[in-house]
Homo-oligomer: A and B are copies of this chain.
Amino acid sequence: MLSQSQLLQLFKETRKDSESICSYLETEDYVVQPIVDVSPPKWHLGHTTWFFEEFVLKKFAKNHKLFDENTAFVFNSYYESVGEKVVRTDRGNLSRPTVAWIYKFRDYVTKAIIELLENETLSTEALEVLEIGCHHEKQHQELLYTDIKYILGNNPLMPGYNQQFEENPIQNFEREWINISEGVYEIGHTSDDFSYDNELGAHKTYLQEYTISNKLVTNAEYLEFVQAGGYQDVLLWHAEAWDWVNTNNISTPFYWHKIDNVWHQYTLKGLVKLDPDAPVTHISYYEAFAYAQWKGMRLPTEQEWEIAQKDFEWGSRWEWTESSYAPYPDYQKADGALGEYNGKFMVNQKVLRGASVATSSKHSRYTYRNFFHPQLRWQFTGFRLVK
């Protein structure tokens, strides 16, 4: 648990980071929502601010005057129990409130929180919600990167975001296969550091013996699968995946483009040649699974990943696992609206482990459980194999 002064520091950094990420945008880039999974950047900025006003200032700051009673509700997202909200698909239809308004809203709330932290002694409950608010904003920072990438990368002009942003990490080490022996292991978050409720409830699990790669599958390796006709071989795919491939004419990872017979990928720098040694990214669980089938291997479960992770480098790609997102034994969701944070998504999603180039500092740990629907590709998703 952070002290109040540590929390003040975390809060200031976090708020600043969101704004730094957006500093490369044009006003127009803040507004659009090309698909339902992507939110407009201005919505992320407003929503994370609304969270602090709704759950911290309203409850714990005496005499706090709301910035704008009639407007902030448009930044409620999925908290069904908190009242009126704008339908998710409509976020990109909202030209108002403007970007300028949102920055004023941010400043107002940021200052009010800082004042609170500097001048009042807060209860543990207040500090906990504030810490969640910071991590919540860090999650949205990750989405800011991937949503901006989608907005710019699906624009027919394919403009770059930032010429200095290097998203393809180097894995300049040899592939090795790490062997883990059969037995009972312990899983879950145990330290005093921050975690979400879905990581808690450390518990024992039995693992069979397995062998896991220290290295992510690379673009060059995945390209072999593409060229070997992997996307055309029904026997490699789940039934739902096969429908998805055919309905959407999927034949490569997302953001790959073949131009004049040369493979390119859109990155946050703009369009560049495909880097053969970089880990493949922007693939669905379905594709990771089909590739593994093709190699006669499989994906790790999240438990296998957690036990083996200390022996490999990770953090540049979110890694798909075979595990469906489910509650740990004795999972307890929080009371009230914050109870909507995790538990209600525990169906039809796959767990991802690790972190990615879009992950904020202080926001990755080996017990972290991310989750997405198996067909989604706009995150920096990759995978490693188990024999």
Q: Which residues of A are at the interface with B, using a C-beta cutoff of 8 A?
A: 26-34, 42, 70-71, 73-74, 78, 80-81, 86, 90, 92-99, 151-152, 154-157, 159, 182, 184, 203-206, 208, 234-235, 237-242, 285-286, 289, 298, 322-324, 326-327, 329-330, 339-340, 344-348, 374
Cβ contacts under 8 Å, A340 to chain B = 235
Residue of B nearest to A335 (CB): B235
Determine the main DSSP class of A at the interface with B. Answer: mixed
| A360–B158 CA distance with the chains assembled, in angstroms | 36
| Copies of this protein in the complex | 4
Centre residue among A34, A81, A323, A344 by max chain B CB count within 10 A: A344
Chain B residues with CB under 8 Å of A73's CB are: 156
Tell me which residues across on chain B come within 8 A of A42, comparing CB atoms: 28
- A339 contact from B27, B206, B235, Cβ within 8 A: B235
Rounded to whole Å, the gap between the CB of A90 and the closest CB of chain B is 7
A342 to chain B, nearest CB (A): 11
B93–A34 contact, CB under 8 A? yes
By the criterion CB–CB under 8 Å, are B205 and A206 in contact? yes
4 closest A-B pairs by CB: A324-B324, A34-B93, A28-B95, A206-B206
- Provide the residues of chain B in CB contact with A81, threshold 8 Å: 234-235
A156–B75 Cα distance when bound, in Å, is: 12
A28–B30 CB distance below 8 A: yes
Question: B206 touching A95 by the CB < 8 A rule?
Answer: no
Neighbouring B residues of A203 by C-beta, 8 Å: 208
Partner of A345, one of B206, B234, B239: B239
Task: Specify the chain B residue showing the minimal Cβ separation from A70.
Answer: B157
Name 18 extra pairs, CB < 8 A, besides A78-B239, A93-B155, A285-B347: A26-B95, A26-B96, A28-B31, A29-B95, A32-B32, A32-B93, A32-B94, A34-B90, A80-B242, A93-B154, A95-B151, A205-B206, A206-B206, A208-B330, A238-B347, A241-B347, A298-B327, A323-B326
